[in-house]
């Protein structure tokens, strides 16, 4: 099962990025091309490509598999970036993190109104970043088609926070 393969590779990093946080580090996955392919295969098997128009990946780890998934599904990829990183006119959304505050942006012309957007990130924790991304999608007239995560920390109840935007949540490994 992909769940067990991921859990055997993902490492815990204590006290990162601040004391008390146990960070789930996916970078060891990147050493294993077969596992990377299995991740994209698993997403493709669990998603309905005909309900998705665009894949949006959240900076920065959401870019790694988000772009591969978009390519596999034959869909455009849209980067959701930290404030000040995109070169064209943007729409911004501020939000609270588990350990601070942040602002994300998307180009104002990233997709057409009415587009169905799959939001991808490596990990779902409390859902703050993903909810902010969902708000950006809606502000640009898009529809949240669903979410795809490599890992979800279900004990932090991030899925519940996303239910107002979409109940279509795919997570390959849950903690």
| Stated pTM of the model | 0.96
- 98 part of the active site: yes
Distance CA(35)–CA(64), nearest Å, equals 13
- How does 107-133 read in b/e, with b if 16+ C-beta sit within 10 Å? beebbeeebbbbbbbbbbbbbbbbbbb
Identify the active-site residue in 44, 59, 72, 98: 98
Distance CA(88)–CA(123), nearest Å, equals 27
Distance CA(104)–CA(110), nearest Å, equals 14
pLDDT tens sequence across 67-104: 999 999 999 999 999 999 999 999 999 998 766 789 99
Identify the active-site residue in 5, 61, 81, 116: 61
pLDDT tens sequence across 107-152: 999 999 999 999 999 999 999 999 999 999 999 999 999 999 999 9
């Amino acid at each position: 099962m992909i769940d067990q393969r991921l859990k055997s590779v993902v490492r815990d990093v204590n006290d990162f990025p601040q004391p008390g946080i146990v960070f789930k580090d996916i970078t060891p996955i990147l050493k294993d091309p077969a596992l990377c392919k299995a991740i994209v295969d698993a997403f493709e098997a669990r998603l309905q490509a005909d309900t998705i128009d665009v894949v949006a990946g959240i900076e920065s780890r959401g870019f790694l598999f988000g772009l591969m998934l978009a390519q596999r599904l034959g869909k455009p990829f849209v980067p959701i970036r930290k404030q000040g990183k995109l070169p064209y006119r943007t729409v911004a959304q501020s939000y609270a993190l588990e350990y601070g505050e942040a602002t994300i942006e998307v180009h104002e012309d990233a997709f057409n109104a009415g587009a169905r957007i799959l939001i991808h990130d490596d990990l779902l924790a409390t859902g703050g970043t993903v909810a902010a991304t969902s708000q950006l999608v809606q502000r640009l007239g898009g529809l949240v088609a669903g979410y795809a995560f490599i890992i979800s920390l279900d004990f932090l109840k991030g899925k519940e926070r996303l239910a107002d935007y979409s109940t279509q949540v795919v997570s390959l490994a849950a903690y």
